[in-house]
Amino acid sequence: MEINRQSDEDEIDIGRIAAVLLQKIVIIIVTGVIVGLIAFLISKLYLKPVYESTTMLYVLNRQSQTTTTYSDIQSSSQLTKDYKLLITSRTVMERVIGELNLDITASQLASSISVVTPQDTRILKIVVKNNDQYKAKEIADKVAQISSDSICTTMQIEDVNIVDKADFPISPVSPNVKKNMVLGGILGILLASAIIVIRYFMDDTIRSSEEIERYIGIGTLALIPIAEETNDEKKIKKKVMKDKNKKKKVPQIVT
């Protein structure tokens, strides 16, 4: 029986919390809208857009000059990790910086470049991110050109084919303004709800006889209503006080 009563109290508490949140629903929604608008303005005005340009290389380590064997394909797949390191090597990065007159370091350029290999392929996908869409394409093309020469020289490979030249990015990949605005709105709603719930738990004021019975365990025998004065009663009371003050001011005649 004790367990059932405890579970009933838990259900009542949850229902009470839901009722408190429902009472403050306007505040919660307004807070969500305000935080969402703040996230929108920050994303639109203060965060720089990032553009992404992609180019692809095809590398095949051919052991025979006439035909491509299965061992050639397998060897190329195993060497893709070496190719990825060569593409972002300091030598390649410094050559790209020198030819494009970039005002960044080799490590900064390498951090903006990612090299991935699609599964079960010998294609190297070079992705360059930059705040300038023209620079992103220019850097991607130059990295593909210089890295293909470096791979051929270092790995003693006959040739590296550029499958696709770098594409020109039209729209930025980040920041996602709509996503940030929605996440900001959700964060604002959760934050307002959390504050309301915390204030509810910290408020130990007893407002009804049901709360007295629930928290103290003592039933109430009767309720004493506190009646507020009406406007007419206030006027009558004010008039009586005014008449009393006038009587006090009347001088007494001494005979």
Q: Calculate mean pLDDT across residues 55-80.
A: 59
Burial category of 83 from C-beta neighbours within 10 Å (exposed 0-12, middle 13-18, buried 19 and up): buried
Higher pLDDT, 244 or 11: 244
> Which residues, 6+ apart, have CB-to-CB distance to 193 below 8 Å?
21, 28
Checking if the pLDDT of 4 tops 50, the result is: no
Q: Which domains does the chain have, with CATH numbers?
A: 14-46+176-202 (no CATH), 50-174 (3.30.70.1130)
**Bridge partners, residue 59, by sequence:** 160
How many other CB atoms are there within 10 angstroms of residue 169's CB atom? 22
Q: Which amino acid is at 123?
A: I
Q: Can you give the pLDDT at residue 127?
A: 92
| Alpha carbon distance 164, 41 (integer Å) | 37
Checking if the pLDDT of 72 tops 70, the result is: no
Q: Calculate mean pLDDT across residues 161-166.
A: 86
Q: Calculate mean pLDDT across residues 164-188.
A: 90
Q: Can you give the pLDDT at residue 83?
A: 81
Least confident of 113-117, 200-204, 247-251: 247-251
| Alpha carbon distance 71, 63 (integer Å) | 8
Q: What is the pLDDT of residues 200-245, one digit of tens each?
A: 888 766 666 666 666 666 666 666 665 555 666 666 667 667 766 6
Higher pLDDT, 71 or 120: 120
Checking if the pLDDT of 191 tops 90, the result is: yes
Please provide the average confidence, as pLDDT, over all residues in the chain. Answer: 78
Q: Note if the pTM is more than 0.75.
A: no
Tokens of 126: 């070079």
